[in-house]
Amino acid sequence: MEDRKIVELYWARVEQAIHETQRKYGPYCLSIAKNILPFREDAEESVNDTYLTAWNIIPPNRPGNLGTFLGKITRRISIDRWRCLSAEKRGGSTVPVALDELAECIPDKSDPEAEVEAKELAKAVGRFLDTLPFADKSVFLKRYYYLASIQDIAEELRMSPGKVKSMLHRTRGKLRLYLEKEGYC
Amino acid sequence: MNSEKLLDAIGLLDDRYLETERKTPVIPWRRRLIAFAAAVLMLILSVGTAMAISEEFREAVFRFFLVEQDVIVPTSPVESEISADNMIVEPTVSITGSPLEGSGVYDTQSVTGVYVHTPVATLARDDVFLVCRDEVSMKSGNHYDAYYVEKGAFEQLQERSFDHIYEIRGDRIRVCFDWVEYKGKAHLTYVDPKAQFRFFGEQPSAEAMLACLKLPDGGYPVLINLYTGEMTDLLAGTEAESLPNLDMMAISRDHTKLVMHQEDLKESFLYYVDLTTGAVHKLDELAGERVDACALTEKKLICWSITEHPFGADEYRIWNIDLTSFQKTELFDGVRNAAQTKTEDAGIVFLEGFDGRSHWGNNYTGSPFAVAVDEEQNGYVIDLETGETSRLEGLVWQHGMSKIPSSDGRKLLMTCREDGRPDIGFIAVLDFEEETVLQFHRENNGGVSESAYWFSADTVAICTVVYGTSLSADYYLYRLSGTR
């Protein structure tokens, strides 16, 4: 079923909307959640919460692209869940490693919370991505948006893990310079 | 930790980055190259063929009008209790300009913007704003108060009740609902969730509304006069009278032609009914091949089939059928759906017909026009009734552009966000028949997401979309007098 029709079902408050969402985007949302949450039951719970959130916020939202809309919700819910679980010392996620990597881009000495809102930072990262070649942008998003492992990215893009690491290293360096130039560091 | 802030910020990236990433399958380079080259060649051949058929359209370059002023829109005031008094209507923008030298089409051309704020969530269409009066809103079976805008203020519309029982094929169907009339059009304000009928939106008159009655073996199309209750049985005496599993239908503006969609668990079919003669045609049989979607014009039925490619763009095969002689004319074969591809690909980016989907609940008989782009993203309009192609001078297609056709398929609204912003920054309206494009830029500096909400013959409505729980609404209505 096409996205527009599914969104229409949400607006009409027909519960079939959830079933159609599950059928079309369930695997996609689960793949995002599983990158962040190592235990399947946690990931599945995040995906179920995604459906509930979508039900609660469509309407008034009318997402233009239902897939990315749901993906964003899943990512946010899964990271929140990971933060709760990490307090209970449940490891195995790619998130801590990704966080360590991203720490290079904004050093601890800066205080972005006080200086900029996350939305502004997102816009800056977006502008930075616009400057990147397609392949670099793709690898960056797979790693830091979808939080995929280096190995998974390498297999998907048919590259060696070393090449993926090297691309990410180069991109992080550029991002750091870019954010410095924009006054974030 | 600051890296967590960065991780969160990446989660807020604009959709366009993620759309590209999510939709780009990993395809071996050679295959991608071949597919791309084939698409470009096909489009060039298609355009070339049309050029050979008619020299006239070489000159038929779409006239182009650009309103150069940027528009800064106001943002929402503090929320408060709902009443007609605190819903705000404010003429905010009046921008005018002149057509480009040489077009000579318009004496005056203008876009006027109106800002409307409602402190609760509202449903809106064609300048009627529906406010839920139930405690739990946004559920089927809600009751709504309806308002319209008059001289900068909201006025409530008088609610009417409709309650009639009809007998169709031995079944008694009760059609009962509340509605309001505004400028001759009907807007439903209450329908029982278990109702055995549904009406289609975007119909020009409440005197003859296409409705689908829900019979035990499927839907059944009728016209109902909401003022008198008179019902016209559209399929009486035709071969289609006992067709089961009909789930969607649309009627031409002059009520002489009907298209219907039939679907059971295994397969689906489209039908065309000539309401003047009662003749019924299954489109697959009429065309001699599979028909996935169609568009009605006065004299022709435009049909197309879609070949799906799981790891690439779908392909269209398009033809038309003369409704008098039933002669079939081939138009295009193997043209890619460029809306599903990356930015540099050529193909069709807009083609939307009657296909069994509900098209926002409207009575939509499909658009007889398609929009295509070449590899440099130059736009072309294809008249699928004649096969003629016209270059869209001055409009460079933007990937990810959102498209909404008018319910008669004669106009197309295109909107997109710009520079990673959440607001709608670019609006263009293509008038296929007048061969004009009206486009302008605007800004909403409130930092809220927006989307195109409805599009009628002369109005584009942009609505703020607030993530989370805020349920107020801001509408920016742009009256396009220049599009006629």
In percent, the amount of chain A with pLDDT more than 90 equals 1
- Residues of chain B in contact with residue A61, where contact means CB-CB under 8 angstroms, are 449, 465-467
pLDDT confidence of residue B483? 40
Contacts of A52 (CB under 8 A, 6+ apart): none
- Residues of chain B in contact with residue A72, where contact means CB-CB under 8 angstroms, are 11-12, 18
CB B265 within 8 A of CB B274: no
* Chain segment A95-151, per-residue pLDDT in tens: 767 777 777 676 554 444 544 567 788 888 888 888 888 788 888 988 888 888 888
> Is the predicted pLDDT of residue B338 greater than 80, yes or no?
yes
Of the ranges A170-174, B63-67, B336-340, which one carries the lowest mean pLDDT score? B63-67
Query: How many Å apart are CA B246 and CA B219, to the nearest integer?
Result: 5
Mean pLDDT, all residues of chain B: 76
Query: How many Å apart are CA B478 and CA B427, to the nearest integer?
Result: 10
Residue range B424-437: mean pLDDT, rounded:
83
Of the ranges B28-32, B127-131, B308-312, which one carries the lowest mean pLDDT score? B28-32
A99-138 b/e (C-beta count within 10 Å ≥ 16 → b)? bebbbebbeeebebeeebebebbbbbbbebbeebeeebbb
Q: How many CB atoms lie within 10 A of CB B73?
A: 20
Residue range A146-169: mean pLDDT, rounded:
82
In percent, the amount of chain B with pLDDT more than 70 equals 74
Of residues A5, A121, A156, nearest to B6 (C-beta): A121
- A61/A71: higher pLDDT: A71
C-beta atoms of A8 and B360 within 8 A: yes
* Chain segment B319-332, per-residue pLDDT in tens: 999 999 999 999 99
pLDDT band at residue B69, thresholds of 50, 70 and 90?
very low
- Strand partners of residue B441: B426
HEC string for chain A: CCHHHHHHHHHCCCCHHHHHHHHHHHHHHHHHHHHHCCCHHHHHHHHHHHHHHHHHHCCCCCCCCHHHHHHHHHHHHHHHHHHHHHHCCCCCCCHHHHHHHHHCCCCCCCCHHHHCCHHHHHHHHHHHHHCCCHHHHHHHHHHHCCCCCHHHHHHHHCCCHHHHHHHHHHHHHHHHHHHHHCCCC
Mean pLDDT, all residues of chain A: 79
Contacts of A184 (CB under 8 A, 6+ apart): A106, A110, A112, A115, A116, A121, A124
Please give the structure tokens belonging to residue B70.
């940027």
- B229/A7: higher pLDDT: B229
pLDDT band at residue B462, thresholds of 50, 70 and 90?
confident
- Residues of chain A in contact with residue B1, where contact means CB-CB under 8 angstroms, are 99, 103, 108
Cis peptide before B422 (omega within 30 of 0): no
- B467/B75: higher pLDDT: B75
Query: How many Å apart are CA B138 and CA A12, to the nearest integer?
Result: 8
Length of chain A: 185
Of the ranges A118-122, B84-88, B250-254, B369-373, which one carries the lowest mean pLDDT score? B84-88
pLDDT band at residue B181, thresholds of 50, 70 and 90?
very high
Please give the structure tokens belonging to residue B444.
């909403």
C-beta atoms of A126 and B17 within 8 A: yes
- Residues of chain A in contact with residue B17, where contact means CB-CB under 8 angstroms, are 126, 129, 137, 141, 145
* Most confidently modeled range among A66-80, B50-64, B231-245: B231-245
> Is the predicted pLDDT of residue A173 greater than 70, yes or no?
yes
Of the ranges B64-78, B109-123, B328-342, B368-382, which one carries the lowest mean pLDDT score? B64-78
> Is the predicted pLDDT of residue B104 greater than 60, yes or no?
no
HEC string for chain B: CHHHHHHHHHHCCCHHHHHHHHHCCCCCHHHHHHHHHHHHHHHHHHHHHHHHHCCHHHHCCCEEEECCCCEEECCCCCCCCCCCCCCEEEEEEEEEECCCCCCCCCCCEEEEEEEEEECCCEEEECCEEEEECCCCCCCCCCCEEEEEEECCEEEECCCEEEEEEEEECCEEEEEEEEEEEECCEEEEEEECCCCCEEECECCCCCCCEEEEEEECCEEEEEEECCCCCCEEECCCCCHHHHCCCEEEEEECCCCCEEEEEEECCCCEEEEEEECCCCEEEEHHHHHCCCCCEEEECCCEEEEEEEECCCCCCCEEEEEEEECCCCCEEEEEEEEEEHHHCCCCCCEEEECCCECCCCHHHECCCCCCEEEEECCCCEEEEEECCCCCEEEEEEEECCCCCEEEECCCCCEEEEEEECCCCCCEEEEEEEECCCCEEEEEEEEECCCCEEEEEEECCCEEEEEEECCCCCCCEEEEEEEEHHHC
> Is the predicted pLDDT of residue B361 greater than 80, yes or no?
no
* pTM beyond 0.80: no
Measured between CA atoms, how close is B463 to chain A, in angstroms? 10
> Is the predicted pLDDT of residue B172 greater than 90, yes or no?
yes
pLDDT confidence of residue B32? 29
pLDDT band at residue B269, thresholds of 50, 70 and 90?
very high
Residue range B352-365: mean pLDDT, rounded:
83
Measured between CA atoms, how close is B93 to chain A, in angstroms? 25
C-beta atoms of B21 and A102 within 8 A: no
pLDDT confidence of residue A148? 84
Of residues B13, B19, B447, nearest to A126 (C-beta): B13
Residue from A102, A111, A113 whose CB has the most chain B CBs within 10 Å, to mutate: A102
Contacts of A88 (CB under 8 A, 6+ apart): none
Query: How many Å apart are CA A65 and CA B64, to the nearest integer?
Result: 29
- Residues of chain B in contact with residue A57, where contact means CB-CB under 8 angstroms, are 467-469
Of residues A5, A64, A123, nearest to B358 (C-beta): A5
- B27/B310: higher pLDDT: B310
- Strands B411-417 and B231-233, bridge-based pairing: unpaired
C-beta atoms of A125 and B468 within 8 A: no
- Residues of chain B in contact with residue A95, where contact means CB-CB under 8 angstroms, are 7
Residue range B191-202: mean pLDDT, rounded:
84
pLDDT confidence of residue A86? 65
- B113/B130: higher pLDDT: B130
pLDDT confidence of residue B308? 76
Query: How many Å apart are CA B204 and CA B224, to the nearest integer?
Result: 13
CA quadruple B15, B18, B19, B22: dihedral positive or negative?
Answer: negative
Query: How many Å apart are CA A75 and CA A145, to the nearest integer?
Result: 8
